[in-house]
């Protein structure tokens, strides 16, 4: 039962993390390492810790137990909290990202009733990506409201790019962000000590010396996992693109016409597929399916292979152009992307193998 397999190269991953820490440290930025892609895998949290990470973020409360036993760490909830999970949020997390004053008021209320220390709030500001966060023009008023609440403490601001709206961070957006910080600090006479300047997509601004000096945190997963910057998709100097790879076993090799036969209904996932007639093709079927991974985020090492599609349990590949004569029992290797990494970590059918 060795396959499918997700292989994690510990040395390469830790190298990626250390390179990210070094790039950021030079600009007085702390890396808050994001673990949500690992779906609660304890070993992954340990690798981050061994590489020097002390600030962690996850979007799911269930995953936070992977940090048990770590000393002197900060745990941040990345998804704006549900009101229904507030008791767990304040118990488990040191801080949370927030974008709704009603939720923040409820957090404060809860902490006061339970006589807990104020929960730390990072207020998200939407600089254009149109996911979470308050609008820039509402920031000061919202901060004033938060400052009046006794059960929470506003420790800083956060922004995010490239997730929903696929917006790229810019000098202008970041200038607006720190202007808001200064306004709030001056008006309310407080210090915002946690300025969270985005995710992996913001890393290139750091090494290009374009990140305002006020930014002292980046929340990062992708860049350290894949050794690439979301923006340019080029391997970052000193990092590895292949710290995570997937291996699947070939269970059938056949020659069939590229066109299915019979009237066309809908496929296993409710879609009406389109097929181009390219004659008979050599097809390789791997024992890995949509239950385990996201096909369009799987990149075969053998560049001559083309993924055709598949179903819950089968991945079908066109091997016409390959120089390799695949047969059942062979192992096919894939580079990964965010979507496939998420699924593979989350699938109990995929074996996780850690190598040095």
Ligand X SMILES: *Cc1c(COP(=O)(O)O)cnc(C)c1O
219: contact with ligand X by CB under 6 A: yes
Q: Tell me: does residue 222 bind ligand X (CB under 6 A).
A: yes
Choosing from 18, 36, 256, 290, the catalytic residue is: 36
CA distance 80 to 89: 10
Residue choice 34, 77, 103, 248 for contact with ligand X (CB under 6 A):
34
Q: Which is nearer to ligand X, 180 or 286 (CB)?
A: 180
**Are 326 and 319 in contact, with CB atoms under 8 Å apart?**
yes
182 Cβ neighbours under 8 A, 6+ residues apart:
none
Q: Cα separation of 154 and 227, whole Å?
A: 33
Residues numbered 183-212 forming contacts with ligand X, rule: CB under 6 A: 199-200
139-148 and 171-188 helices, crossing angle to 10°: 40
Q: Are 289 and 311 in contact (CB under 8 A)?
A: yes
Confirm or reject binding of residue 221 to ligand X (CB under 6 A).
yes
Nearer of residues 338 and 354 to ligand X, judged by Cβ = 338
Quick one: the chain helix, strand, coil %, rounded to 5?
A: 30, 25, 45
Query: In this structure, are residues 341 and 335 in contact, taking their beta carbons and an 8 Å threshold?
Result: no
Give the number of residues in contact with ligand X, rule: CB under 6 A: 14
Q: In this complex, which beta carbon is closest to ligand X, that of residue 75 or of residue 283? A: 75
| DSSP 8-state code for residue 228 | B
Q: Is 36 one of the catalytic residues?
A: yes
From 4-12, 13-21, 214-222, 315-323, span contacting ligand X (CB under 6 A): 214-222
Among 6, 51, 97, 121, binds ligand X (CB under 6 A): 97
Nearest residue (CB) to ligand X, 156 versus 310: 156
160 binds ligand X (CB under 6 A): yes
Residue 123 within binding range of ligand X, rule CB under 6 A: no
Closest residue to ligand X, based on beta-carbon distance: 221
* Residue placing its CB nearer to ligand X in the complex, 221 or 289: 221
Which phi and psi (to 5°) does residue 279 adopt?
80, -160
CB atoms within 10 A of CB 110: 18
Bridging pattern class, strands 331-336 and 244-257: antiparallel
Q: Give the 3-state secondary structure of residue 11.
A: helix
Query: In this chain, which of 17, 21, 77, 78 binds ligand X, going by CB under 6 A?
Result: 78
Taking the complex as a whole, the smallest distance from the CB of residue 132 to ligand X amounts, in Å, to: 7
Which stretch in 135-143, 216-224, 244-252, 289-297 sits in contact with ligand X by CB under 6 A? 216-224
Spatial distance between the Cα atoms of 304 and 332, rounded to a whole number of angstroms:
12
Binding positions for ligand X, rule: CB under 6 A: 34, 36, 59, 78, 97, 160, 199-200, 219-223, 230
Catalytic machinery residues: 36
């Amino acid at each position: 039962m060795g396959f499918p397999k997700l292989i994690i190269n510990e040395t390469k991953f830790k190298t990626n993390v250390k390179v990210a820490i070094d790039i950021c440290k030079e600009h007085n930025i702390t890396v808050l390492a994001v673990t949500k892609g690992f779906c609660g895998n304890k070993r992954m949290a340990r690798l981050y810790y061994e590489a020097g990470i002390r600030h962690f973020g996850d979007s799911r409360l269930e995953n936070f137990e992977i940090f048990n036993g770590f000393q002197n760490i900060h745990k941040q909830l990345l998804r704006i909290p549900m009101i229904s999970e507030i008791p767990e949020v304040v118990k488990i997390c040191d801080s949370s990202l927030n974008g709704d004053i009603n939720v923040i008021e409820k957090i404060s209320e809860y902490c006061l009733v339970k006589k807990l220390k104020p929960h730390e709030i990072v207020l998200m500001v939407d600089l254009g990506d149109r996911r979470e966060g308050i609008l820039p023009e509402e920031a000061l008023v919202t901060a004033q409201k938060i400052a009046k609440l006794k059960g929470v403490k506003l420790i800083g601001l956060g922004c995010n790019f490239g997730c929903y709206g696929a917006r790229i961070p810019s000098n202008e957006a970041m200038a607006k962000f720190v202007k808001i910080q200064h306004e709030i600090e001056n008006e309310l006479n407080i210090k915002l000590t946690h300025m969270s300047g985005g995710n992996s997509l913001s890393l290139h601004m750091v090494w290009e010396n374009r990140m305002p000096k006020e930014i002292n945190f980046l929340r990062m997963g992708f860049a350290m996992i894949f050794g690439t910057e979301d923006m340019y998709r080029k391997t970052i100097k000193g990092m590895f693109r292949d710290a995570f790879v997937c291996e699947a076993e070939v269970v059938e090799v056949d020659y069939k016409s590229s066109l299915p036969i019979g009237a066309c209904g809908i496929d296993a996932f409710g879609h009406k597929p389109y097929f181009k007639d390219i004659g008979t093709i050599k097809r390789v079927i791997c024992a890995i399916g949509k239950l385990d991974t996201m096909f369009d985020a799987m990149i075969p090492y053998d560049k001559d292979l083309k993924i055709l599609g598949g179903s819950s349990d089968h991945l079908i590949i066109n091997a016409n152009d390959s120089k390799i004569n695949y047969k059942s029992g062979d192992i096919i290797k894939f580079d990964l992307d965010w979507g496939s990494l998420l699924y593979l970590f989350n699938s109990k059918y995929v074996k996780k193998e850690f190598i040095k």
